Amino acid sequence: MATEIDPIAQFRLPVTKERVFRAAIAVADAGGIDALTMRKVADELDVEPMSLYYHVANKAAILDGMVEALVNDIEDAVGRLDPLPDTADWKTALRRRILTARDVMLRHRWAPALFESRTDVGPATMRYFDTVLGLLRQGRFSFDLAHHALHALGSRVLGFTQELFESDDEQSDEQSMAALEQMADQLPNITQMMMEIAPHARNDPESTLGYCDDQAEFEFVLDLILDGLERIRDTA
Amino acid sequence: MATEIDPIAQFRLPVTKERVFRAAIAVADAGGIDALTMRKVADELDVEPMSLYYHVANKAAILDGMVEALVNDIEDAVGRLDPLPDTADWKTALRRRILTARDVMLRHRWAPALFESRTDVGPATMRYFDTVLGLLRQGRFSFDLAHHALHALGSRVLGFTQELFESDDEQSDEQSMAALEQMADQLPNITQMMMEIAPHARNDPESTLGYCDDQAEFEFVLDLILDGLERIRDTA
DNA sequence: ACCTGAACACCGTTCAAGT
DNA sequence: ACCTGAACACCGTTCAAGT
């Protein structure tokens, strides 16, 4: 039963679920999540759009698969880290894992919004949370407090927070700064804050709202939460 | 120059920006954010789809307007609360404001995802943050710490956290529970947690992952953050 | 088993035109 | 000033058919 072989198909890698997800990630990396269409993913794989439906049920399945693929990337990145000394405590291990997750996320700016839009949690994500839960348990957290901890960390455990003030690339910082100055009388506190903690930022188009360092803020809040959890553990 | 009057139009309210936003909110309340199309919003206003473009630039402007409308709803709800005694501290005031915001959010389940997807911050939202900043300043926070505090609270200041484990209505809890049991060997910690802190939940289809109380978790984490901030303020 | 072509229903939006 | 009809480009997806 020698199956006929498509003369073009034999010169390209066969389509698989995994390759569909990776192609989708490449499309999103290149053009943002709005550019992610079935037709573009198919293009990326050198295949007709309808072929995708042989491998995945629909677009939602691709979005779910992208999330799982990125969680696997995080787990791989954590695996490549130098092993921690036996003396390392839970906070060190968890903190390092979370900042590694953040490294992965920073390479896919569209990912946070995608993660938060999904409602189905896949097996890779489940295992990720199970591992984090294990770290907390090693840190002598009760299941009850560990459960609270997962809620407290939220998406931060995967290395991101969805910033409400995220500036998109369309609107320049000069523009938002100008809009802000126009409302100065209605925003007495924000205006004063801008002047006090970042007078230099008024002409610095590099920084988000003129004065935020996302990485520093991420770590500040992360430590606030980790320290708060530790304190609760030790006083309970 | 007596303008002709459309005999149908005179029996319906004139379309305005505000009415477009309110109609969009009604559509999303009824059918979720995916059901929000220009055509459905127009239907809601008893008007042709193309008429909307006379009042708003595009769909993105409607989404931005919906966010602003909800922020105004929050501010109104806060305004309707009994005034706090003069002795009330910053934490009481901020906590109450945030839980009031949450009440509004709970009436619009699609709103959290929408809020997080927007990148332009409108004037009402700006004023909201300015007010929160004012509360922190009254609590003797430096601008620097108050700024950190806004990051630490994140979307929580508007009454929501985007739960990664949010169960959608399609997939029943029995289903996710069954999927979880099937992976039990790969999820030793989660499995044990489920058995330990919520053995009763295994047959309780009412609770999210079987044992989470969202409101209680929200308040737990809120207090964790507020207390942590207060501690930093007092030791700085 | 794997891929494709044609077609459908639906979407946001443009443009020129109506009153 | 405010609203509309026709049309366009694009989307996810179905179905029957190809090799």
Contacts of A211 in chain B (CB under 8 A): 147
Name the band, by pLDDT with cuts 50, 70 and 90, for residue A204: very low
Angle in degrees, CA A202, A219, A180, rounded to 5: 25
Name the more confident of A7 and B77.
B77
pLDDT in tens, B88-97: 999 999 999 9
Tell me which amino acid residue A205 is: P
In angstroms, what separates the C-alpha of A34 from chain B's closest C-alpha? 12
pLDDT of residue B236: 73
pLDDT of residue B170: 52
Contact A25, A71 (CB under 8 A): no
Residues written for chain A:
236
pLDDT of residue A13: 80
Interface test with A, best of B67, B190, B233 (most A CBs within 10 A): B190
Name the band, by pLDDT with cuts 50, 70 and 90, for residue A232: very high
pLDDT more than 70, % of chain B: 83
Instruction: Flag whether pLDDT at A162 surpasses 70.
Output: yes
Q: Is the CB of A54 under 7 A from strand C?
A: yes
Contacts of B155 in chain A (CB under 8 A): 162, 164
Q: Which of B119, B147, B188 sits opposite A193 (nearest CB)?
A: B147
pLDDT of residue B162: 80
Interface test with B, best of A68, A119, A132, A167 (most B CBs within 10 A): A119
Per DSSP, the residues of B48-116 read -GGGHHHH-SSHHHHHHHHHHHHHHHHHHHHHTSPPPPTT--HHHHHHHHHHHHHHHHHT-TTHHHHHH
Separation CA B128–CA B146 (nearest Å): 14
Mean pLDDT to the nearest integer, B17-43 = 97
pLDDT more than 90, % of chain A: 72
Cβ neighbours for B41, distance < 8 A, ≥ 6 positions apart: B20, B23, B24, B27, B52, B62
pLDDT of residue B195: 87
Name the band, by pLDDT with cuts 50, 70 and 90, for residue B47: very high
pLDDT in tens, A90-119: 999 999 999 999 999 999 999 999 999 898
Q: At what angle do helices B173-182 and B188-197 cross, to 10 degrees?
A: 130
Mean pLDDT to the nearest integer, B120-139 = 96
pLDDT of residue A189: 96
CB atoms within 10 A of CB B105: 20
What is the model's pTM? 0.90
pLDDT in tens, A129-161: 999 999 999 999 999 999 999 999 999 999 999
Q: What average pLDDT does chain B have?
A: 88
Mean pLDDT to the nearest integer, A43-51 = 96
Name the band, by pLDDT with cuts 50, 70 and 90, for residue A175: low
pLDDT in tens, B167-204: 555 555 566 677 777 888 999 999 999 888 865 555 44
Instruction: Flag whether pLDDT at A180 surpasses 80.
Output: no
pLDDT of residue A39: 97
Name the band, by pLDDT with cuts 50, 70 and 90, for residue B11: low
Q: Which of B134, B137, B227 sits opposite A228 (nearest CB)?
A: B227
Instruction: Flag whether pLDDT at B2 surpasses 80.
Output: no
Mean pLDDT to the nearest integer, A15-30 = 97
For the domain B57-163+212-235, what is the CATH superfamily, name and number? Tetracycline Repressor, domain 2 (1.10.357.10)
